[in-house]
Chains A and B, each alone.
Chain A
């Protein structure tokens, strides 16, 4: 990969990954505001905003982070399966994206109810608590992934060792 292209994809990867983390922080703030808010209008607004942020910001950024990460690793000598830290980042990214997509359904349920009901009933309380837990877990995962990218802890996989031995 040419240096200019490599830097461009690195920039895209960092921006999408950190943007994903920031968007989940906003999502967490909305989920807390939705649970503890007293004003029904604000509560409903929070859940409607969460659905928008989820579909139009978090999901696209997670996909962009995954794709640019693949390009970045496969297009350089870092590789995708040679270093443990890159492998772990891949697993974290795939898991976080899968859990995110899975949880867009309950978010949609709460948002649909918020759009049609003046006051959210107690039947959605557990899901609303769950959204806070999910966002907190997502932030933890994304902070770990960011830390791995910065620290780049040493350690080659078996495949990485074989590749290194061939050189």
Chain B
């Protein structure tokens, strides 16, 4: 099992990069949905 190293930043850099990419993907997903007719068929 991997142990945490002392002095490591509270939020690792990979997490920040991941967060930015995830935000972009979510925005693209929502835009594609809206362009495709606005979440039709869900209600």
Chief secondary structure at chain B's binding surface: loop
Closest to B19 in A: A88
Residues of B in contact (CB 8 Å), total 20
Instruction: Decide if A152 is an interface residue (CB 8 Å cutoff).
Output: yes
Contacting pair A105 B42 (CB below 8 A) = yes
Task: List residues of A whose CB falls within 8 A of some B CB.
Answer: 77-78, 84, 88, 102-103, 105-106, 109, 126-127, 129-130, 133, 137, 140, 152-156, 158, 160-161, 164
Contacting pair A106 B42 (CB below 8 A) = yes
Known: A129-B36, A156-B4. Contact between A137 and B29, CB under 8 A? yes
Contacting pair B10 A158 (CB below 8 A) = yes
Instruction: Decide if B25 is an interface residue (CB 8 Å cutoff).
Output: yes
